[in-house]
Structures are given as structure tokens and as C-alpha cells.
Amino acid sequence: MGYGLGIDLGTTFTAAAVDRDGHVEMVSLGDRTAAIPSVVLLRADGGVLVGDAASRRAAVEPDRVAREFKRRLGDPTPVLLGGAPHSVASLMAHLLGYVVRTVAGQQGGRPDRITLTHPANWGPYKRELFAQVPRLTGIDRVGLITEPEAAAAHYAAQERLEDGAVVAVYDLGGGTFDATVLRKRGGGFEILGTPEGIEGLGGIDFDEAVFGHVDRALDGQLSRIDPDDAGAVAAVVRLRHECVLAKEALSADTETAIPVLLPSVQTEVRLTRGEFEEMIRPSITATIGSLHRALRSANLRPADLGAVLLVGGSSRIPLVSQLVSAELGRPTAVDIHPKYGVALGAAALASGRSGLVQATRAQPVPPPRPEPVRVPAPREEPRPGFGAGSPPPTLGRSKSDGASPARRASRRGVVVGLCAVAVVAIGGVAVAVSSSGGTPTGGTTPPPTSATETPTLVTLPSPETAEPTAVPQHTNPPPTTRRKTPPKTTTPTKTTTPTTTTTTPTTTTTPTT
């Protein structure tokens, strides 16, 4: 009998579940737990360690271990391990290959179909990079599904959902946060609106907050650790693990103590739940804001939700359910093991059992459209009539591009009419010039020029200074072509004073014929 395999390659933990003959169960990947840390270590001899083995070896070879690399998917900068560059996709392929080999050894054969999950707010570029991971491993028959859809599928298997029911998935994992609204359609779910999320927010950020609390309690001694001291670095690695355990303990207890075993100091740091909640409250508030945006994009109100599904290991923090319930006024549903809900739903989707959900979505949801790139208008000096509040000019398109055909035809008619008026006006000016002997009415006719005339300097008034400026004339000016005019009764007289720099022209009068 074949089986379906669902794998959740998380930022901090990786989990897998199988669905065989209608029965879904988790697969034990680690030494003592079902999930394993998403850690890969590449040894100098070429060997690869994954999960718990890589975490144990990380204290000895910290420069060869990769953690939380899922966050860097899409970053062109490679991950340096032992001085050698490695892509995020290749590291995820090592992790995926280990999971498939482990499950196949336990189940007695390869699965019929595998379903991998990914955040809902990933764009086409990251989805394409993620699709390369199984190809690098040499695994075929692999499908991709969003984490909220897988979580909703698992919830539908536990609770009866009527067709058309709307649920919101609040997925707070180790490295990312997703908020998605889904509606049940037939045997599957469809995503409503646009999924929202915060890629740089998750449980590892809460771990870092606890680590910072310890550093402050030690007056900054952790910040002054020598990175070349192998013993001190190993002690810091163990301390970070203790901070993670303290965070998880505060989900059930109200107080915990973090042991500090450094070469220079051995002590304990006390941490209460109230102190921890004050550290993370701004982050939880930001996640609720993303959930509100997801609802608005689906044109829904919180009252339209049947329930809010809390998914991901960090959703077990008591403050999360308190703030979500108080803000939305809707009941929250938390699985017994919220970090496994995505893997369990992915396994059910991989098997394609009609009694639960279909292997594919009821309606394919296209990726979110990218926001249009707005090109700013070139900066111009202010012109008359265009003040600071005037709209900038549109680039590459005239204002009439969006007008209707009738308006464009009307505008063309106006332009043609203006051109006709201009032609008539120009023709009238030409007739007036012709009738006046080539000179516009009221103008003066320059005197005839003689080729033997002595060069002189003519003084012209300057419009700005109103002082004479000497302008030399050509010695041999070109002959002037004149139109033949009727006989004149008055001969123009020109007075030239060679010894001065001023020439006084005499006005020529042309009698009317």
C-alpha cells in the first residue's frame, strides 16, 4: 500500500507526516522528538550532518554550520560555510533529502507523492527557487502548497466545517509570520484576498530577546566574548540553547531561571513571564495588524470569521491567544501540537483522500500582482502658471490618451480650424506687404547701398543701457535685391558724415500711385 508524505521545511524546525490508508501520523525524524532543527553542517571531509547531529557538532565547528537559512531564500549572497559559498536552495536540498531517506527507511519504501509547504506571502520568484529544491535532490512527484492551506486542511479533518465557512490562519513560526483568510469550497479551500505576513518575525527573534535580557543582566559580558576563544564560543552556543528552553518553559510557567556557564562567570539569570511578554508585545501587535490587513483585502470583517486558527510553535505563547481574541472578538483554535499541524495537513493533501480535502486547491490562486513602478517626473524649474501645487506632467503619454473617440475627433476639428485661421492671417499679411512695396506699413526702407561707399561705424541704442554701441559694417556688402516699384517722384537723400560715428538716415516716402 502506498502512502503520501507531507513535509514542512521550517525556518527553525522541520517536520514530516505520512498518510497511509486514511490514517495520518507524524514521523519521528529526531533522536527524541518528531521534528528536527533545521540545521545543516558541512564537514571538511565532505560529509553532511543534518538536524540533531548538526546541532551537537556546531559547538566544535561553528564556522561550518548553517541555521535559519530559509529566511535567506532569494538573497543572491551565498552562505559561507568553511570559507566556501553555498546557495540556500542547496542547503534546503540536503535537509529534504535527509527527511525523504529517513521516512523511506521507516515506511519500507518511497512515498507515492510528496507535498512541500511554503509561506503564503512568497512571491513567484521565491516559489520558483523553492521548486528547484526537490530537483536538486533528485525527487519527483512533488507538489507545493501554502502553509495556511495545509493547516486549514488539518483543522477541517478535526472539526466539521460547512461549505462556505471562512477561517483565518494565524501562523507564527520560528522565522516568519503569515496571516491568511480562507473559505471552504467543496473538498478544498480557496484563499480570499491577499495573504499578509512579516518575513523577519518569528520565534528566533523572541529567542534573541531573551539572550539580550541575559546580556543586560551580565552587564554586557556576552557582547565582549572573544570570537577566537573556542571555549567561550561553545559556552555561548549552549547559553543560546538555554534561552530557547526558557522561552518555551514560560508558556506553562510564570518564572524560569537561565543557567550561565561562561569561562569568566557562572551564575543564573531570572526571567518572569511578565518581563518576557513586555519584550515581545510590540511584535505580537504587529502580527495582529497584518491579520487586519488580510481581512480588509478580502472585504471581510472579524465578525465574518468562524474561527482563527493559531498555527506554528510560537503561537503557544499565552500572550498570542489573549491579544488575538481581545482584538478580533472571535474564538481561537489551537492544536495540541501547533508546530505539527502544517505537516499533518500536507500529508493529507499528498494522499488526495476525497473524504478530507483534494490534493489541489479548489480554485488556483494567482500570485499577488506587483505594485506598479511609479517613475517620478523630471525636476523642472517653475514655469509661469505651474506652481508647486500643480500636478506633474505625465511621462510617455498625453492627457488625451484616455479620452473617448468622440472627444478626440472634436479636438482634431478644433486644431484644424485654428490652423485654417492662421493660414488666412498669414495670407493677409503677405498681401499687405506686397501692396506696400515689400515693406510693412509704417516701416522704413533702407537706402540703396553703394559698393564704393566708405565704411563707417553706426551707433545703435542699447535697449538695456541706452548708451551708443559701435557696430562695424561690412566693407563690401552683398548686393541687395529689390522689387520693381512704380516710378517715384521723390529721390531719397542720404546724409553721411565721414568724420563722425553717427549716421542720420532720411525717411523715404513712397507716393501712392
Q: Which of residues 386 and 480 earns the better pLDDT score?
A: 480
pLDDT in tens, 360-385: 333 333 344 444 434 344 344 433 33
Contact residues for 413 (Cβ-Cβ < 8 A; gap 6+): none
pLDDT, position 59: 81
Query: What does the pLDDT average to over 299-305?
Result: 94
pLDDT, position 331: 87
Beta strands in 287-369 (DSSP E): 307-311, 332-334
Distance CA 92, CA 123 (A): 18
Can you spell out the DSSP letters for 371-403? PPPPPPPPP---BTTB-TTSPPPPTTS-GGGGS
Can you spell out the DSSP letters for 52-110? HHHHHHHTT-GGGEEESGGGGTT-SSPEEETTEEE-HHHHHHHHHHHHHHHHHHHHTS-
pLDDT, position 500: 40
Distance CA 127, CA 135 (A): 13
**Residue of 39, 57, 55, 59 whose CA lies nearest to 235:** 59
Distance CA 184, CA 168 (A): 11
Note whether 318 and 251 are within 8 A (CB).
yes
Distance CA 169, CA 307 (A): 9
pLDDT, position 207: 95
Q: Which of residues 251 and 396 earns the better pLDDT score?
A: 251
pLDDT, position 240: 93
pLDDT in tens, 194-203: 999 898 899 9
C-alpha cell at 308: 482563527
Q: Which of 65-69, 89-93, 426-430, 475-479 has the lowest mean pLDDT?
A: 475-479
**What count of other Cβ atoms lies within 10 Å of the Cβ of residue 443?**
10
Distance CA 251, CA 319 (A): 9
Average pLDDT, the chain: 76
**Residue of 162, 112, 156, 137 whose CA lies nearest to 4:** 112
Q: Which of residues 48 and 403 earns the better pLDDT score?
A: 48
Distance CA 223, CA 227 (A): 10
Query: What does the pLDDT average to over 64-71?
Result: 93
**What count of other Cβ atoms lies within 10 Å of the Cβ of residue 287?**
24
Query: What does the pLDDT average to over 479-492?
Result: 44
User: What amino acid is encoded at 271 in this protein?
Assistant: L
| Edge-to-edge strands, sheet with 48-50 | 48-50, 39-42, 65-67
Q: Is the dihedral of CA 135, 139, 140, 146 positive or negative?
A: negative
Could you tell me which residues are beta bridge partners of residue 13? 37
Contact residues for 355 (Cβ-Cβ < 8 A; gap 6+): 22
